[in-house]
Amino acid sequence: MFGPVKFVSGDGETNQNRLSTYVGQWIDGKLELVWPRDVATSQYVYPMPQR
């Protein structure tokens, strides 16, 4: 989710970002990767518990 970004050109477009989309969620005070499933470190929590 945090790291280098590379912009590429192709299909008549310039400076496009073709990175996969990742979704993170704070679970029990720890940032977990919840999407995509094949690289997730935890399952998403929904609904989030109320404090």
Length of the chain counted residue by residue: 51
Q: 3-class SS at 10?
A: strand
Q: Name residue 18's beta-bridge partners.
A: none
Q: What is the pTM of this model?
A: 0.58
- The string of pLDDT tens digits covering residues 6-19 is 788 777 778 776 66
Q: Which tops the pLDDT comparison, 26 or 18? A: 26
Domain extent listing, the chain: 20-51
pLDDT at 47 over 80: yes
CA atoms within 13 A on the CB side of 12: 0
Indicate the pLDDT class of residue 44, thresholds 50, 70 and 90: very high
* Whether the bond into 4 is cis, omega within 30 of 0: no
Is 33 strand, coil or helix?
strand
Q: What are residue 26's DSSP bridge partners?
A: 31
